[in-house]
Structure 1
């Protein structure tokens, strides 16, 4: 039987409700599947035919260690997504590269440690670290809360992190669209409610995907997601076996990319009819199982 490990961590074990479903579905397909913590020093990654990164959600606080793990695993077996994709996509500075390739994105200013803090004077803004997941250390500020926003940026800088500053997208009240791709093909989409619903408060206990509903993307959303994936492939050579493209409508109603998740996104497989089977199909092809 081919051996497949779904990489996770303590947070994934505790909160990834799809993880045991996927392990069971892979085993039913004749694949020796297991969920393994990426930081488990005793796990034999080289003995796996394929390793699929699934829910390594704590990597943001241990980024250097996680990248070193990806390099090691990529050197001894088939890692998905590959280490070069992990390195590129784990830092949201990739948004600047997408924008440079003419992909419409949320306007983003990156402020590295030691750089001057210059914030837009008008409108609500969002401040967060460029290496982040689940709105970790993120907050929204109004134009009267710029001192607090600047303090937030400096706090991130002092911790050695690059801060990113974005305008708060008012149309997110209409929902953030998450388009999921499996094996390079569109699989399903969902609409999520806004997360940063209040201002001036860093709250790491927020629900990351509130008010999920099924969504049928229109042509503009499908085209933009495809353009984002094509641009990413141009930069790193591949987009891996899964992707989630998060979009929001701009003030004029046209979609822009908020995030392009290629390494550990929640794919909402169990809430989309056939989602689990499509994921298993992709993994089965990786290991040559019919």
Structure 2
């Protein structure tokens, strides 16, 4: 057999901004793998010439979702795609939180308002019952689209600003987008946790400063992951992360996963998001993460050959 060929899938903007990308390429090449960064929408790439395609910094996918999902399906027909195309589709819309909640995973309470119109909370609430009070709470709320990455078109609203939060949701609905409404968790001020897994095994974690620091502001140019630093997760956080991954509708272990958590008012960890498509893995922060990812890729290659 010849040298294994691996595509590390990126995007036009992601190739320049992804700090993990050069680390991954160097580590794989050092392990004897022919690794190449390829934009998912590059002109006529020969995906069938790769033994494995690993999605990494495809950070424009949310703005071009139908096109991206079609690419994932087509690429999976000719090579092994990780994470798998059906899982990419499932994870691309944050309504997956409803499914995880049905599996008893502790999730930030979330309502989804559809453009057509009804709320989904695990049950449903007719839009005729929808009013400004649904956009308020003791600590305010967060409003964001169900399909988004990097906190785009997201803002938090302080108590008493329900009318502003409602206008935000209506703006999303008017654009044909599903809106999410979540209570703001005040203990986010202590930091969001991101737990990284490779091949189903915990690798490392970071804690980062809150992103929505200014209330009422939609800022699509925020610096992502402010103040990210190594973090030792609690046993409760590890249990919650593993429960979320166990509820994922996919056979076998995932090549990579990032589980984003925060603390509720009882100081219990709750899931904010489950990142299975193109998360930052913070490989420059943890010295062992890159080695573990390289091992996971090698295991995936063994399974394909």
Is TM (by shorter chain) over 0.5? yes
The question of whether the paired residues in 1 share the 8 Å contact of 2:146 and 2:179 is answered with: yes
Name 1:122's counterpart in structure 2. 137
Q: CA RMSD in A?
A: 1.3
> 1:238 offset after TM fit, Å?
4.4
Partner Cα distance (2:38, 2:136) in 1: 47
Name 1:105's counterpart in structure 2. 107
Q: TM-score, normalization: structure 1? A: 0.96
Name 2:205's counterpart in structure 1. 189
Partner Cα distance (1:147, 1:11) in 2: 35
Name 2:280's counterpart in structure 1. 266
Gaps of 5+ in 1: none
Pairs within 5 Å for 1:1-290: 1-115=3-117, 116=127, 117-118=130-131, 119-123=134-138, 124-232=140-248, 235-238=249-252, 240-288=254-302
Partner Cα distance (1:239, 1:287) in 2: 14
The question of whether the paired residues in 2 share the 8 Å contact of 1:81 and 1:239 is answered with: no
Secondary structure of the structure 1 residue equivalent to 2:13? helix
Partner Cα distance (1:158, 1:63) in 2: 18
Residues 91/284 of structure 1: CA separation in 2 closer, same or farther (3 Å cut): same
Partner Cα distance (1:286, 1:82) in 2: 12
Q: Deviations over 1:253-287 (max 9, x none)?
A: 11100011111110101110121111111111222
Q: Deviations over 1:159-199 (max 9, x none)?
A: 11101000011010111111100111000011011000111
The question of whether the paired residues in 2 share the 8 Å contact of 1:229 and 1:239 is answered with: no
* Runs of at least 4 residues off by over 6 Å: none
Q: TM-score, normalization: structure 2? A: 0.91
Partner Cα distance (1:64, 1:134) in 2: 18
